Structure 1
């Protein structure tokens, strides 16, 4: 994976008003923690971090942070907080990592090829868009690919079908479904509507007719 670099500056001022002022100036509050060291509150350029996210397939990104007074720190983006309404970036957690220690990361799963079942009119269902694995920082990849071209209608592929290298330790059930091909929904919906229509016709009661007969009898 390509090296990602970021410049950070320690921040001493806490509190809502200071953080609000920081965001107004285009800066994003963040914290660097882990490796049995005290957490360090920092500020980073919001635009620079947005660009990092934009060019990455997931938020599990290794970032080399240049921090004043500490040199370059290898970190993993652990948590990104967004505003619930505007989706603006609010805060970032950066975990210190070491090259020789495994880390838990979330890797996107990309489907390649055109399913035979889709060509026959079926619908592909991408069930699992990413999987959790453990690996060394240097072994991280942008994504895992899985070929769906052999899938017929009714078939599915599991996590075990990814055929991962021994460099990766799965942190999810290998029998979990990654993708499947279902029959066209239109046919299923038509069958359900026809069945509901048949039930409606069979269960109708001639209440109006009964009442009319009773009135005639009077």
Structure 2
């Protein structure tokens, strides 16, 4: 999995007034959990863009004044109107501790149903997975090559190696929708056959 390095600075003062000052200066207050102690820090807003505004999953090397922590983005809060980043939470990860992470889905192959005029409908864009950090994939590959018209790919059909997908086995991931024009042509053929 790709690793993004982010530089952060320890926060001396906590509280709403201090957080407001940071945001005015395009800094995002944050907390790092999961280690021996919580670390309060702030990062320049611009450094979070590559991590937040991407469909990809990343590990983060959070460098707080020289101390580097391997972590994942746990939560980010945005202002409801301006969409400005208000607060960020990171979870420190360790090689011997399992983690839960949201990972994007990559649809692989050209579906049989698409070749016949169907449309690939992506029911899920991301899946929550659980496993050791080195086992977490950067994408979950879903092979749709065998999907015919009207068929559905479900979570239990995805081959997993050393991680677990945290979704119900029957959760649909993708399907091949039959367009209205194709459906009406098929029903006309059916009516002709009955005459």
Decide: shared fold, TM above 0.5.
Answer: yes
Q: How does 1:117-156 map to 2 (within 5 A)?
A: 117-156=113-152
Residue 169 of structure 1: how far off its partner (Å): 1.8
Residue 18 of structure 1: how far off its partner (Å): 2.2
The structure 2 residue matched to 1:67, chosen from 61, 64, 67, is 64
Residue 56 of structure 1: how far off its partner (Å): 5.4
TM superposition outliers: structure 1 runs of 4+ over 6 Å = none
Question: After superposition, what is the alpha-carbon deviation per residue over 1:148-179, rounded to whole angstroms, capped at 9, x for unaligned?
Answer: 122111111111222111x1122222221111
Q: Is the contact made by 1:115 and 1:148 (CA closer than 8 Å) also made in structure 2?
A: yes
Does 1:115 pair with 2:111?
A: yes
Residue 99 of structure 1: how far off its partner (Å): 1.3
Aligned CA-pair RMSD: 2.3
Unaligned runs of 5+ in 2: 185-195
Q: Which has the larger radius of gyration?
A: 1
CA–CA distance in 1 between the matches of 2:126 and 2:2? 20
Please give the TM-score of this superposition, normalised by the length of structure 1.
0.76
SS in structure 1 of the partner of residue 83 of structure 2: coil
Please give the TM-score of this superposition, normalised by the length of structure 2.
0.84
Does 1:105 pair with 2:105?
A: no
From the two aligned structures, give the one with the greater helix fraction: 1
CA–CA distance in 1 between the matches of 2:140 and 2:8? 31
Unaligned runs of 5+ in 1: 190-218
The structure 2 residue matched to 1:164, chosen from 160, 173, 177, is 160
Paired residues in the alignment total: 185
Partner of 1:33: 33
Does 1:83 pair with 2:82?
A: no
